[in-house]
Structure 1
């Protein structure tokens, strides 16, 4: 229990009077949470049978303190954290936390960031990656990028709303949206403040699904409102830039762009092409990339109907040259395309 205005002398004559006679008090938190004079009176009255203390209002306490001298009070120094074992444990924990932070891992012990247990961090880790990459994809689909002000995020999950802490995910979506269009480094600590500074309003919606709550999330959807898109097919029916993703076997996937369903891993970078659905398109685009020594790691095609419009999502390990992208754009059946760097 910390010592705050709300907890100062929280144990006093009034609270002792409400206790069952013979209660035992142990305080290893902060001395100021107990009214020491009231504790002496409670001990003398038999309300408190015994007290064990290692903290006091004034430290060190006076040698003639009635509390220290009381026959039913046991006092010890507040030295639990100063043992050799405790100091060694703290040193190891600090070293591991610093190494983890330098490696870009989430910190479960940060005092000025969302507090999430190590178990939850482990479970959410692939979704945290997914959240940031969806933010990066969405903002790169906006013409000009910097005009983003309204962000809507939807989470679908079979878990109850109270069992899903989205603060980390919100921070990473903010990071993904802001960093590609600015020189600001966004982290868990400054995400909300940075968003507020830039006039970015992010609202969240949680949709509860039927089914097994084995996974914390089914999908994450990011929508950017009141913007122009440089890839028209990324617009939803309501005119928002929309991307959706999910985690499959621990790997983040892009599963929807606008109203088109796709399936491509969010590794490396992505080329999106809107095209006429016709034979040979996959081979044609693949050949252009192969001739430029660009390795394709994943490819998916989502279409409205056979021989109608389709979107090809291509995951690439390398950044294609301008000439290579120009060749893709010159394919007669390609109506629009965009390169998105992750």
Structure 2
């Protein structure tokens, strides 16, 4: 295999019910940055029943080309046909870099595709960059339980594959003046490729936005002391039109649900305002919120690491300061 045959950056675009998932747009924006550094083009690869109408959106966010594969059987994600089609496209198209969102679907698809095209996969990345000396993709992810950040390269195989957590990469404004090439192919799927039948799809209904999309987050940690402490955080979040979130310590203690956990083993967030109440600021948590626009830290320990990333620090008991803040806002 000649590495010089592999060119460009590809992004697997995840769509559900005809809606492009936000992480895919984030990856196209990042792919645009990477491609500009290595002098390549960005190709968005999308599978589904009717995907041609989504192509312009992908081009507006930075794709130079859209490869669409259509088939009625691709309307819902099924592991085998998606794996077969994407693997075949990679083998034929020879991208230098392949990016996939680390969603439920992406985490199922990426390792299977990597195995079939005989390359490595760095999963759950939080940072992507290019080595200026070698043009290798530098893929950084938490390792050893989140205690260190490991940067991994794949110098001897192509494509260099990475799955990336939602919310990690910056979503830039789209440019509706951009134009690109669109190729829509009718995908061939044999009966043997469809080894699973979807009988029913039940989607969990949630009455509020996800913490990844919130502009304001009030986050509690071990220093809150008990489940009851989150009631005050909830009132403050409501007062500021935001949501509550938590550190892993609060989740492990059973005070709140894991769905609102922020950090390397939780979710990555970028709110305009992040209030960290009773959170020490371990690297595992900071990695998930350090890109917030404005960070306010409340902690009784003046030496807590959270103050190193905070724009405003308040030394004191969060269980006293939060109620006082609520009273002042009232």
TM-score range, shorter chain: under 0.3
Q: Bigger relative contact order, structure 1 or 2, given CA contacts below 8 A and separation 6+?
A: 2
Higher Cα radius of gyration = 1
Under a length normalisation based on structure 1, what TM-score does the superposition of the two structures give?
0.27
